[in-house]
Structure formats: C-alpha cells, structure tokens
Amino acid sequence: MSRTAENANFNWNEPAESVYLVHLILSTPFSTLGPKNMKSAFEAAEQYFEEAASVLDLSSSMRTLLMTPEREIKVQVPIKRDNGEIATFVGYRMQHNSARGPMKGGLRYHHEVNADEVLALASLMTWKTAVVDIPYGGAKGGISVNIKEMSIDELERLTRRFVDELHDLFGPDKDIPAPDMGTNAQTMAWIMNQYEKFHGFSPACVTGKPVELYGAEGREEATGRGVGTLTLATLRKTKRSIESASIAIQGFGNVGTYTAAYLEKAGGKVVAISDVSGGLLNRDGLNISAAIDWVKDKGSLAEFPGGERISNEELLVLDVDVLIPAALGGVLTEDNAKEVRAKMIIEAANGPTTPEADAIFRKREILVLPDILANAGGVTVSYFEWVQNQQYFRWDLGRVREELEKTLTRGFDRVWATAEEKKVPLRTAAYLLAIGRVGRAEILGGI
C-alpha cells in the first residue's frame, strides 16, 4: 500500500508522526476560492484597506507604499515522482511588508493557489500581526499542488526543493513560514531540517513545528482556540450567553475542529458542521468529539451519524446565532448574503466574505468579526514559539494559553472601542488600528 496523504492514517505505525499525517488530512481544504466571477482576492483585500484608509484620510502616496508588496517570489519546484517521472510545480512567497518586524505567514498547498490569492493573503498577514500587536510584518506562501495526488515522500521532496529555492529569502529575522491549508507540523519539520542544511541550527526559521522538534505546546489548537475565545468575547459584548447560542461551523479541518470543541466545552450548542463531503445538522447539538474521532478514523464526515445531511450552501444560511466560516475564501457573496440568517459571523477562514456581501451584512446589521482579528490566534502562538526558540526556553501549555488569551483580548477590546468611537464596523476598526500601526512604523523608520 503506498503512503499517500489520503491513506496515511490507515497505514502508519509510528504514533507520534501519524498525528501529523492525520492532521494533514484534517486540514485539507476543498477549494480556496469562491465563485469565479467575483473580485480577485487581492482586489477584495484592497477594498477593505481603502475603506479604512479613507476614514484615516491617508495620503495616496502612503496608500501606495502600504499596499505595494516588498517582494514577490515565484519559483519552479520540480520533483521526481515515486514512479520516476518529473513533475513541475509553481511555488510562491509574497513578502508584503516588514515595517514592524520580520515578515510572517503561512505556507499553503492547494491546487488553486495562485499569485493573486497569495498576495492578498500576505497583505492580510500584515494587518493581522498589527491588530494583535505582535512584532511582525506580513507574508504568505503557497505551492499549486493537489496534495491528495501526492504521496508523503513526494510532499517531502516538494517541500525540501521549495526550501532549496528560497532559503536565502526567509529565516528567523527575515520571513518565517508556518502551516496553512494543506500543510502541517510535519511540513514545518521538513522546512526546518532543510533550511538548517544551509544555515545551521535555526529552529526559529519556521513555526508550527512538531512539539518534539522545537514546536510550541498549543500551536496546533491555537487558531481554533482563538476563534472560540473571541466568539465568547463577542457574545459577551452583545449580551448573549454561550449557553443559549446555536452555532454553525463550515469546515472541519484544523481550525473548525478546535473551534467546535472549544465552543462545545464552553457550553455552546454546535448544531451544524461540514467538510468537503457536505454538512450535518442537529438542532439538539452535534457530538463534536465523536465527529472528530470519526474524521480521524474515516477521513471525512461522510456517513457520520447523529445529524441530518445538509449541503455546505445550506449551512451558511441556517437560522443560528453564530455562523463560523472556517474553511474557504469567498464563500459569503452577493448571492447568498441576503439569505444569511445568523446574528453574527466570526471569520475563522481568511477572506470568507466578499466586499459585496460585507456591505449587505452591514445594512442588515449582522455583526462580522473580521478574519484579521478572529483567526489571529494561530500567528500569535507562532510568535510565542519563535520567542521560545530564540531564547532556548520552553513554556508550558498553561502559559501559552494564558498569553494567547491576553493578546487576543487586548486586540479585541481595542478594535471594539475603536468601532464604537469612530462609529464604524469592526472590520474597518481593525484595519484602522492596523494601518495606523504599520504606517507609524514606516514613518518612524524612514524610507
């Protein structure tokens, strides 16, 4: 039996590593992009930036400086397939801004990865690190590859070859990759190992590594835990209780599973979940730990009992208190925004809402907690991992969780206060804070 990413969890007898292989499957997205006729991902990111830039009355030269990426890298990544044939892939690393520190952001393996999308995601990282005030800039990378068609050995060769092409352009004080869709702790371990062949011991060159290899306790759960923490904060601010909240989560990968588990434990009722195989609805609340075990065992939610089958589209328009898109970009569009019945949307995915849908939600007074804050837990614990690596010191899980909550709550409170003070939506408020911080760093540092 060959070791493909899909069957790895059925045929693997080294428990520690199998955890990472399973999660490679768990974090496999179905599609990173929404409908084909919508704005490009970068145009959408630009539109959100421009709205806040207008509130700030930012000069056009400053707008150009802040939106122009510092460096765009596109490389050929050829590998030998297991059958001896040569396969050539295209890889990207977009380094958007470094005014506030080394650039930071994930590395995505998905067949729809393209330059525009990676650039948009890189700019989101600049604003995300600024909103929660961690000392980084923003970057993002990706390889256009369908990981389901790759064996584990091929993925390893692909990752190492990508590092061969890029190792001079990233590193602990330049640009630090991390997991994103289709990549996981195992991928990060390969990156570190390959980078060190050129530069010597440098665990801080990448984050999201296995805990056994300089990774931080709590990094894997961090994005979902952060989404859960901020969902509770939003419910509190809007005077709703978690016990009476019904929650629908689209996406049951790394972010969706940890978010669901966190909110269920906090007393919430997760009534709907979904993955590539479709969704499930149970008005009495789904059994999340059973669903997670099912996916670990079978690879997807297909045939999971305990709920009525629904489609991913139906999940988005369910009558629930909280809707959490946790998988795709561009799923909430002009076409379905009018049908959405949730009272609040917590953007666990990057870029799930198009600007057109966002405008409809504003009119309909549906509260949207924006991605650059809602899913910042991942990069925040990446920062803690990098700090520990630089200091050769280890924090325990309790400290990681405590510091994560502190950082996210501080960011949330600032964004909320700014939204109230300026009478703007939370997204604009988050961008106002972020752009202000990056802009000041640009000016203080000088050109």
d(CA 144, CA 117): 11
315 vs 379, beta carbon nearer ligand GLU: 379
Count the site residues for ligand GLU by CB under 6 A. 12
Helix (H, G, I), strand (E, B) or coil at 94: strand
292-309 b/e with 16+ CB inside 10 Å = b? bebbbeebbbeebeebee
344 DSSP 8-state letter: E
361-390 footprint of ligand GLU as x/- string (CB under 6 A) = --------------x--xx--x--------
> Comparing C-alpha atoms, which of 4, 5, 3, 180 is closest to residue 93?
180
Only one of the segments 38-46, 100-108, 269-277, 360-368 lies at the binding site for ligand GLU (rule: CB under 6 A); that segment is: 100-108
151 vs 375, beta carbon nearer ligand GLU: 375
209 vs 343, beta carbon nearer ligand GLU: 209
Q: Name the minimum Å distance from CB 294 to ligand GLU.
A: 26
The answer to whether residue 140 is catalytic is yes
When binding is defined by CB under 6 A, the residue of 105, 210, 279, 307 that contacts ligand GLU is 105
21 vs 379, beta carbon nearer ligand GLU: 379
194-213 footprint of ligand GLU as x/- string (CB under 6 A) = -------------xx-----
Tokens 């352009």 map to which residue? Answer: 169
23: which 2 tokens? 């999660």
Position 352 contacts ligand GLU (CB under 6 A):
no
Residue 49 Cα distances to 31, 112, 383, angstroms: 25, 24, 24
Tokens 């709907």 map to which residue? Answer: 272
When binding is defined by CB under 6 A, the residue of 178, 340, 404, 424 that contacts ligand GLU is 178
- How many CA atoms does the CB half-sphere of 319 hold within 13 Å? 1
Catalytic residue among 140, 209, 269, 343: 140
Query: Could you tell me if 104 and 379 are in contact, meaning their C-beta atoms sit under 8 angstroms apart?
Result: yes
Q: Name the minimum Å distance from CB 405 to ligand GLU.
A: 17
Query: Could you tell me if 319 and 341 are in contact, meaning their C-beta atoms sit under 8 angstroms apart?
Result: yes
Q: Which residue is nearest to ligand GLU (CB)?
A: 106
Judged by the rule CB under 6 A, the positions of this chain that interact with ligand GLU are 104-106, 178, 180, 207-208, 350, 375, 378-379, 382
